[in-house]
């Protein structure tokens, strides 16, 4: 069945460091891929998404590219800030004409120190 495997955390970085959080997926067909972020005390928010192979999603300096050949959707940011401290979830949606079930990874806790 469909699933997402996400890099385990926690990840601790200094401000302005480069961030990579790995995400690979297993899916039948061609799913849409997402990164959600959960800041302390808040609900899940969509960070970025990609709906087909080779698409690049980007937002707030974060990027991820849909790689069908490696079934990956790694999250990157060139220079993290303290405000980026949160839990990051990779997810995919099953194929269909509308947004269906989301399959989430386990989440990666990111802490950025000043």
Partner 1 sequence: EAGVVQSPRYKIIEKKQPVAFWCNPISGHNTLYWYLQNLGQGPELLIRYENEEAVDDSQLPKDRFSAERLKGVDSTLKIQPAELGDSAVYLCASSPTGSRNTEAFFGQGTRLTVV
Interface with partner 1 by CB under 8 A: which residues?
Answer: 4, 6, 32, 34, 36, 42-46, 49, 51, 89, 91, 93, 95-102, 104-107
For partner 1, the closer CB: 12 or 14: 12
CB of 76 to partner 1, least distance (A): 20
CB of 79 to partner 1, least distance (A): 26
Gap between the Cα atoms of 68 and 46, Å rounded: 21
CB of 16 to partner 1, least distance (A): 28
Task: Answer whether 105's CB lies under 8 Å from 4's CB.
Answer: yes
For partner 1, the closer CB: 16 or 54: 54
For partner 1, the closer CB: 1 or 114: 1
For partner 1, the closer CB: 80 or 91: 91
| Per-residue tokens: 47 | 């960070």
Closest of 70, 10, 4, 62 to residue 33, by C-alpha:
4
Contacts of 101 (CB under 8 A, 6+ apart): 93, 94
Q: Which residues pair with 1 in a beta bridge?
A: none
Closest of 5, 29, 3 to residue 107, by C-alpha:
5
CB of 9 to partner 1, least distance (A): 10
């Amino acid at each position: 069945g469909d699933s997402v495997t996400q890099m385990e955390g926690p990840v601790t970085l200094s401000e302005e460091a480069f961030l990579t959080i790995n995400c690979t997926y297993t899916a039948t067909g061609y799913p849409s891929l997402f990164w959600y972020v959960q800041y302390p005390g808040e609900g899940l928010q969509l960070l970025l998404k990609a709906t087909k192979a080779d698409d690049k999603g980007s937002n707030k300096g974060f990027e991820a590219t849909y790689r069908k050949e490696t079934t990956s959707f790694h999250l990157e940011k060139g220079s993290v800030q303290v405000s980026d401290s949160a839990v990051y979830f990779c997810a995919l949606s099953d194929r269909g004409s509308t947004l269906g079930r989301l399959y989430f990874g386990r989440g990666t806790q990111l802490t950025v120190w000043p």
